């Protein structure tokens, strides 16, 4: 797995560099939002790209203001399912699957197939591996809050790339009672030839598959926000944001009997293969109630639910068009960015140095791989007014859907430099070592004046 992570990182880096851009993916919040959550707290430029109404709130305290990211966020992360030693177990079973001719009895075949089928059931239920990378174009996001505009403009260009691997289970059928007396059952996945009572040759017909997907998303977003209502205690802001998406995907289904080079090579081949591309437009709307000591707001993202279509995966090697694996592969040719309601609140001191924030996704939505995400976050932060004393923040985030994974989060700001880290409280064994099921790291630089 160490070789897998290294090779994938190098391949992804080579893919990203020519783009010069790096959508805020559901699985990896950008910049300091990794710790803060999707909350408009005013302490960071990244909080201005959460709620479309957030940009204009800068006017309340500071008048005209300009914010931009020198390189506001570059980040990477990984997440594993709850299956220990995922790839080594797949490779070991695949090797045994291909070397059944070494068995000395039909009973030996039964034992190996029982182990294989048990693993496939386990992996399809909860085993996967995902790696992801993302970031923003230099000087993005750019926030212009000016009284002449009556509000604020926010321009952002960003993107991400990710890869995911898992297994699809087609149980290996074998009639050992018939085979033990030298009779082939036509419904078997294994066809044996015999020398006496001992099999000395076989052929395999089974659709169990390692499915590897890669996806690259590039987003250009432009938003406008302004005050809608003012009272003596607070102001209500509203905002609209339009997004242009370009989504590229690559999908490879490798039948279990064909994993000659192992799952690591399959992962790399999917990243290296040609990407299938589609584009779409999304629209977000948000409101934000801001007082001297608290904020509360809501954002509805992708209200038009843009849909992306991709070419069908190559199914020419699959023997059973009616089988479960074939049907799952054939059904994954579209991706819809579902609408999501995000709720937020923050309380702070008058200086905004101390902030306690909370965010909650009201509904779950799927990413391009079909994984569900519904984040709940809470954080506490201190933002310093001096360049030599670091600001600090810490929090918790939990996916209330899908993987239901928990993360601890920790971040710091020194002058214009932000560093944020998240790691899972859950563990999984990889290459014999216990590691967090997930981890994410973001780096960034931003300026306000």
* Block mean pLDDT (10 aa), the chain, length 449: 37 36 69 91 83 84 75 91 71 66 69 77 79 91 87 92 83 70 65 63 72 89 95 94 93 68 58 78 96 94 94 76 80 89 93 92 94 96 84 96 94 91 89 87 85
How far is Cα 183 from Cα 232, in angstroms, rounded to an integer?
Answer: 88
> Who contacts 301 (Cβ-Cβ below 8 Å, separation ≥6)?
282, 284, 339, 340, 342
Q: Are 66 and 144 in contact (CB under 8 A)?
A: yes
Query: How far is residue 347's CA from residue 378's CA, in Å, rounded to a whole number?
Result: 12
With beta carbons less than 8 A apart as the criterion, state whether 223 and 244 touch.
no
CA 414 to mean position of chain CA atoms: 28
Task: Output the pLDDT for position 259.
Answer: 55
Write the secondary structure of 281-294 as one string of H (helix), E (strand) and C (coil).
EEEEEEEEEEECCE
Cα within 13 Å of Cα(125), Cβ side: 8
Q: Which residue has the tokens 């996704």?
A: 361
pLDDT attached to residue 1 = 37
Among 51, 50, 43, smallest CA distance to 67 is for: 43
CA 332 to each of CA 81, 140, 363: distance values in angstroms, whole numbers, following the listed order: 21, 33, 22
The values of phi and psi at residue 435, to 5°, are: -135, 160
Which pair of tokens denotes residue 374?
Answer: 């519904």
Locus of tokens 């294994």: 190
* CA–centroid distance for 434 within its chain: 22
What's phi and psi for 311, nearest 5 deg? -65, 150
Q: Which of 379, 378, 449, 436 is nearest to 412 (CA)?
A: 379
Asked if residues 321 and 334 have their Cβ atoms less than 8 Å apart, the reply is no
Q: pTM, whole model, 2 decimals?
A: 0.83
Q: Tokens standing for 3?
A: 């070789």
Greatest pairwise CA separation for the chain in angstroms? 95
Q: How far apart are CA 154 and CA 59, in angstroms?
A: 13
């Amino acid at each position: 797995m160490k070789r897998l992570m290294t090779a994938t990182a190098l391949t992804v880096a080579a893919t990203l560099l020519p783009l010069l851009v790096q959508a805020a993916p559901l699985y990896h919040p950008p910049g300091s939002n990794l710790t803060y959550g999707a909350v408009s707290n005013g302490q960071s430029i990244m909080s201005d790209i959460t709620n479309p109404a957030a940009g204009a709130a800068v006017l309340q305290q500071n008048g005209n203001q300009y914010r931009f990211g020198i390189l506001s966020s570059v980040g990477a992360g990984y997440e594993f399912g709850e299956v220990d030693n995922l790839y080594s177990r797949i490779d070991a079973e695949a090797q045994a699957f291909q070397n059944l001719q070494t068995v000395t009895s039909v009973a030996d075949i039964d034992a190996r197939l029982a182990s294989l089928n048990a693993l496939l059931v386990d992996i399809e239920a909860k085993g996967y591996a995902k790696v992801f990378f993302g970031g923003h174009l230099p000087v993005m996001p750019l926030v212009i809050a000016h009284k002449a505009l009556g509000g604020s403009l926010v321009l952002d260009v960003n993107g991400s790339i990710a890869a995911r691997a898992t297994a699809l289970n087609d149980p290996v059928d074998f009639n050992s009672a018939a085979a033990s007396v030298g009779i082939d059952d036509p419904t078997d996945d294994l066809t044996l030839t015999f020398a006496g009572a001992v099999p000395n040759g076989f052929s395999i017909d089974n659709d169990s598959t390692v499915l590897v997907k890669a996806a690259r998303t590039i987003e250009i977003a432009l938003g406008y926000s302004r005050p809608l209502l003012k009272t003596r205690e607070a102001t209500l802001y509203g905002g609209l944001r339009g997004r242009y998406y370009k989504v590229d995907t690559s999908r490879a289904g490798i039948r279990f009997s064909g994993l000659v080079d192992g799952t690591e090579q399959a992962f790399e081949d999917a990243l290296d293969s040609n990407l299938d591309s589609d584009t779409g437009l999304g629209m977000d709307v948000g409101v934000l109630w801001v007082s001297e000591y608290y904020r509360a707001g809501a954002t509805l993202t992708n209200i038009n639910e843009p849909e992306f279509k991709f070419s069908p995966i190559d199914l020419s090697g699959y023997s059973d068009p009616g089988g479960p694996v074939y049907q799952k592969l054939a059904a994954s040719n579209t991706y819809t960015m579902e609408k999501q309601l995000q709720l937020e609140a923050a309380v702070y001191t008058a200086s905004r140095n101390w902030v306690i924030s909370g965010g909650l996704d009201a509904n779950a939505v799927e990413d391009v791989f079909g994984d569900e995400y519904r984040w709940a976050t809470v954080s506490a932060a201190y933002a310093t007014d001096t360049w030599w004393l670091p600001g600090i923040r810490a929090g918790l985030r939990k996916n209330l859907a899908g993987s239901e994974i928990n993360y601890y989060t920790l971040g710091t700001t020194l002058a214009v430099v932000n560093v944020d880290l998240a790691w899972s409280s859950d563990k999984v064994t990889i290459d014999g070592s216990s590691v967090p099921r997930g981890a994410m790291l973001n780096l960034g630089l931003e300026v306000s004046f």
